[in-house]
Amino acid sequence: MKIIFIETEVEAVGPWRKWIGIGMASVLLFTVGCGGGGAADQSGDEKEQGKTRVVEHAMGKTVIKGTPERVVVLTNDGVDDALALGVKPVGAVQSWIGDPWYDFITDEMKGVEVVGEEVQPNLEKIAALKPDLIIGSKVRHEKIYDKLSAIAPTVYSDTVGHVWKENFKLYAKALNKEDQAQQQLKEWEQRIADFKESMGDDLDTKVSIVRFLPGLVRIHHNGFPDAVVQEVGLKRPQSQIKKAHSSEVTEERIPEMDGDVMFVLTMEEGDGKATKLKEEWMNKPLFKQLDVAQEGNVYEVNDVYWNLSGGIQAANKILDDLEKHLLDKSR
Amino acid sequence: MKRKITIRIRPLHLSLLMDVRPLVWLALLTLISGAVFVISVGIGEMYIPPGDVIAALTGQGSPADIMVINSLRLPRVLTALLVGMALAVAGAILQGVVRNPLASPDVIGITGGASVGAVACLTLLTGIGSQWVSVAALAGGALTTFLIYLLAWKKGVSPFRLILIGIGVNAAAVGLTSLLLIISPIHTTSQAMVWLTGSVYASSWETVWRTAAQVAVFLPLTLLSSRHLNAQELGESLATGLGSRVQLHRLLLVLYSVALAGIAVAAAGPIGFVGLMAPHIARMLTGPSQGQLLPVAAVTGALLVMVADLTARTAFSPLDLPAGLFTAVLGAPFLIVLLLKSERHV
Amino acid sequence: MRSHPFRTLTLRTLGLVAGVLLLLVTLTGSIKWGLTQVGWQTLLNAFQTPEPTQVELVILNTRLPRALIALCVGASLAMAGALMQALTRNPLASPGIFGINAGAAFAVVAAAAFFSVASFQAYTWVAFAGAAISGLIVYGLGSAGRTGLTPLKLTLAGAAMTAFFSTLTQGVLVTDETTLEEVLFWLSGSIVGRSLQSLTTVLPFFIAAWALTFALSRPVTTLLMGENVARGLGQRTGWVKFLSALCVMLLAGGAVAVAGPIGMVGLVVPHIARFLVGNDYRWLLPYCALLGGSFLLLADIGARYLIMPGGPVAELLAGTAARVLSDEVPVGIITALIGVPFFITIARRSVSE
């Protein structure tokens, strides 16, 4: 079973909570920064195994002992990040699409227990795995925090999606893998710098992001792919710069999809519905009239990387796509 | 002749003439409920034998058992039990007042109104505590009932009109709920959908204590008023002859029913058909007198919801389904049989 | 007998002409008004130009199909409601109240989830079957027992079946990988984004049902005088009832297949029509068709404006946690909210009588 509501919006919280969020994020950055410094002499040290750490997160503070070995991950981005950090969970919620995992993680996830799905994980399955760390997200699992905490130390990100980088750092801290995280983020920064340099003046290319789901069409504003596109320095069409996560659109808003390039995401669940819808829309006269379509700058990309997985591996794969489609052009 | 015993509670001027048969049934059902309770607490991803369950409940089991039982299963099973009782009694009162076997809080829009309140709270005010969701559900249910009552008033309230208006108001409530779902943030929509089918998934001890306290207030009140219900069931003219101030008591009883339904909806969402089924099963077992009906109905309701939730969380593991799904599956055939059999009441 | 505004033949004919005019006006409005601004000139050009502009494409490919769908669905639902009211002698009868919509909707959702039915033709048949089954159950339940068919029993049976089917539908949605939001929109009754093709699939059934319904108008009027009277006049009442039920199934099932369960149209419109021309189905049915089409067209225009981006409601909601992600609400919500006061008024009247 899969439900597609993997996106969240940070604006869904009131203004006061936003400030709390910002405060929390800065505390988080602070702790991550401090932890990063101390982590250098910590790695691989056998004596450190028994040491307790305090991780501050969306629901408060959690004490974690040493390096967790039996980790249960309740978010898709958490799975992506954990694997990137070399941690194989003992249990995880199934991927939004795929049976039960995304193709690109299937090999690594062999033998990992499915604990239900991200919107409603099975608490007893989790308990039966006897984990020593549970990673979840407040936006999904706020109501069951107490129960999870009774099972094992639990760490929550505030939300998922455009805050992927903060989440990566948080998960790394909980997993006691901050060194690796630092390293990967450094590589990420380097890739961005290289990309910006290669793009040169073309960096002001306006990127339109359109997503087809079974039965509905979205123009993206402020989700995971948008955060990546923004970070690498690319621009967006004026009509797509909005605070909301995305807009569900009727055909009348096809003109708002125009841009210098368009990336088309299709969330295909396996029944062909989304693909059919995509083909219908892309063959509509209104769509064909778009400048971006007439100039042949519409690229179809993998929804798993661009939206569903949502961790650092996925972010790198988006950058792969951007390099592939935009760098060739600017040369 | 059936054997009867008389229970007198002098300070309350209350005396109940009870058949022995209902008492036997009550005892039997309570026993079955107790067994289902223990089994329910024992079954899950980790099977805990009944002996160990009882040991854990008395605080002597292994720490792992105690953790699973205390933080995962017990709150859930207890919520199911309380919700079942509340819904069953709410349904029994309504059926008595409205003198129609099909009346139940879900058919006449009370749960629909409570849902609007709760969903509005979930979608428009994300980030506020869960206790407010239940307040909103109660308020929604009460407001809706008030509206139904008001609209059905025409020199008194005829039961038929009450039902019909209730159905209409329910349609509006469904519309409003859909509207709220559509304008809500995406992630709340899926949460609200699970809630709308009726689920005790995330019940906490807080839910249990709150619900228990509320039920503890309203259940005795209802039992005390149940003698008026007997009069109500005889029909309006006859009831007046018996000196029962019909309209007043009717209103009071409806209020209790709303409160109980609202409590249940607040705790677990609209778990359907329990308010319809439980009183009927009870009536089949005990006969028509309300004094005996209510306790038996309450236990039956508790049993129904516990079994439904047990099935919902174990049958399709690792998926954890809403209990309301299974009460509906049970409820529909029941309804058909009911409609075909009960011509006297309709 | 209450008196009706349109009593004479002339007045009734004039009313019919006015109805046609109303339908044309709402049809034009439905094509002109919406998110994309459309001028009158553009509107005319759209139908003539060989190379349409963006706006003209919106008119031809978006506005026109949905307007036509609204018209056909509205007319069908209203006629189905009128037939049901005659058939059951119940002023509250309509496809929504009687659980026929909910049954058809459940059939479609279940077929999509469990049997991977995907083609629209198949949906249509499934919807017909769902409508028929739930209709039969409700009718059977409502007429069971010594007292026979009473309005209250029928309505209750309908409400109970609606509750049952909607819980099942929700259950299927929770257990299956069906996309929640897509179905959510469809389940509330929506005509946005339907292609003209979905209408053309159902249109033959609609046309057949409309023709049959009009053909039945005289026998149904006779039937309304009482079963014995009708039999005395040589009518085979069983056939009339069966054919009427068939029409209801085709009309309601077809409407659900195209647009999801849109409630209250079948209740509200026949009552307005009855107020205008009385209970003569030879006049009532054409009035229902015209008014039903106009009613749904109007409701659909309302559905576009209620939460339109940048509109007043959207601005108001911007202050709360709600995020208006979609541009429109399903039209079924609008009809439900308009219809409930009608329902209540009728219920109050019919019980006291």
Q: What confidence tens digit (pLDDT) does each residue in B269-313 have? A: 888 889 988 998 898 888 766 677 889 999 999 999 999 999 988
**Across A3-7, A91-95, A249-253, which has the greatest mean pLDDT?**
A91-95
Q: Do B45 and A125 touch (CB under 8 A)?
A: yes
The band of A41, judged by pLDDT with boundaries at 50, 70 and 90, is very low
What 3-state class would DSSP assign to C30?
helix
Task: Return the closest-CA partner of residue A11 out of A237, A166, A163, A157.
Answer: A163
Q: Do B317 and A125 touch (CB under 8 A)?
A: yes
Nearest CA in chain A to B71: A147
Phi and psi at residue A246, to the nearest 5°: -165, 170
Tell which of C90, C100, C156, C337 to mutate to test the B interface (max B CBs under 10 Å).
C156
- A26 vs B114, higher pLDDT: B114
Topology agreement, domain A10-176 and domain A190-330? yes
Q: A25 CB near a chain B CB, below 8 Å?
A: no
What distance in Å separates the CA atoms of residue B339 and residue B343, rounded to the nearest whole number? 7
**CB of C102 closer than 8 Å to CB of B332:** no
pLDDT at A178 over 90: yes
Domain range summary for chain A, segments of one domain joined by +: 10-176, 190-330
**CB of B231 closer than 8 Å to CB of B244:** yes
**CB of C161 closer than 8 Å to CB of C138:** yes
Q: What ipTM was predicted for this assembly?
A: 0.77
In a domain, B253, yes or no: yes
With contact defined as 3+ CB pairs under 8 Å, the chains touching B are A, C
What distance in Å separates the CA atoms of residue C334 and residue C298, rounded to the nearest whole number? 10
C62-352: which CATH architecture?
A: Orthogonal Bundle (1.10)
In a domain, B153, yes or no: yes
DSSP 8-state secondary structure symbol assigned to residue A133? E
Nearest CA in chain B to C156: B102
Task: Return the closest-CA partner of residue C162 out of A324, B167, A173.
Answer: B167
pLDDT at A313 over 90: yes
pLDDT at A34 over 50: no
Q: C59 CB near a chain B CB, below 8 Å?
A: no
The band of A32, judged by pLDDT with boundaries at 50, 70 and 90, is very low
Q: Do B320 and A120 touch (CB under 8 A)?
A: yes
pLDDT at C25 over 60: yes
What distance in Å separates the CA atoms of residue B111 and residue B108, rounded to the nearest whole number? 8
DSSP B220-280: HHHHHHHHHHHHHHT-HHHHHHTT--HHHHHHHHHHHHHHHHHHHHHHH---TTHHHHHHH
Beta-bridge mates of residue C259: none
- CATH number for the domain including B141? 1.10.3470.10
A10-176: which CATH architecture?
A: 3-Layer(aba) Sandwich (3.40)
The Cα of A143 is separated from the nearest Cα of chain B by a number of Å equal to 6
Domain range summary for chain C, segments of one domain joined by +: 62-352
Which CATH class for the A190-330 domain?
Answer: alpha beta
C240 Cβ contact list (under 8 Å, min separation 6): C216, C219, C220, C223, C230
Could you read off the pLDDT of A242-277 as tens digits, one per residue?
887 888 888 888 999 999 999 999 988 777 778 888
How many structural domains are present in chain B?
A: 1
What distance in Å separates the CA atoms of residue A211 and residue A209, rounded to the nearest whole number? 7
CB atoms within 10 A of CB C176: 18
Could you read off the pLDDT of A97-113 as tens digits, one per residue?
888 899 999 999 999 99
**Residues of the domain holding B337:** 85-341
Q: Could you give the percent of chain B with pLDDT greater than 70?
A: 78
In total, chain C counts a number of residues equal to: 353
Tell me the helix, strand and coil percentages in chain A, rounded to 5.
50, 20, 30
Q: B266 CB near a chain C CB, below 8 Å?
A: no
Structure tokens belonging to residue B246:
């019909």
DSSP 8-state secondary structure symbol assigned to residue B45? S
Residue C195 Cα to chain centre, angstroms? 18
Q: B179 CB near a chain C CB, below 8 Å?
A: yes
In this prediction, residue B161 carries a pLDDT of: 80
In this prediction, residue A323 carries a pLDDT of: 94
What distance in Å separates the CA atoms of residue B247 and residue B149, rounded to the nearest whole number? 11
